[in-house]
Copies of this chain bind each other. A is one copy, B any other.
Amino acid sequence: MARIRDEQKVELIYQAALELVLKQGFSGLKMADVAVHAGLATGTVYIYFKDKETLIHQLYNHLKKKCVEMYAEGLEGEDSFRKLVRRLWKQFFNFCIEHSAEVAFLEQYHRSPYLKSQNKKDSNYLYGPFLDMFSRGLQEKRLIKADKEIILALLVGPVHEMIRLHRDGTLKITPSVIDSTFEHVWECVKR
């Protein structure tokens, strides 16, 4: 059988595991399934990952690195604070739609017992760019007087909820829906 480069194989395994965790959850993840989905033999997975638990932890760290700031790029040119928020929020929304598998995995991981060893605060790493932005907004008095976490909830809570409705087929998300929703969320966090 043709050899493939190692990093590629690790990537195949990650991809397979990601898909399967979404369908079945962590405990429902079967190593044999991962192998089949990745186009490999069962034993091969064990060449790249010590065991199932390690695979899950490494996949988490992999996705964490991959996702952080993936949505937070290209914000330099924005002048007005409102436009900056709008830009970041829309990029986050689109990121969540395009990478819903990754987002769902991270959410599951944070709720699962796998996290307990690591730092609980870890669960906010994804929102770093938002929190940084809020610091500026609060200083410049462009945002309501409230904890950063509340502002975060007001901005991203609706995004997650809409994505859930989207997944169910209850709500169709289009660029214009995204635009008009931003106006609404901005209304409640702006000063």
Q: Which A residues contact B (CB, under 8 angstroms)?
A: 23-28, 104, 108, 110-113, 120-121, 123-124, 144, 146-147, 149-150, 152-154, 156-162, 164-165, 168-171, 177, 180-181, 184-185, 187-189
Contact = CB atoms under 8 A, between A and B. Distances in A.
Given A25-B25, A25-B26, A27-B27, A161 B156 contact: yes
A110 B163 CA distance: 13
A162 B161 CA distance: 13
Contacts of A187: 187-188
B180 A146 contact: yes
Given A162-B157, A184-B189, A149 B121 contact: no
* Interface hub of A112, A146, A156, A188 (most chain B Cβ within 10 A): A188
A31 to B, nearest CB: 13
Contacts of A23: 113
A121 B168 contact: yes
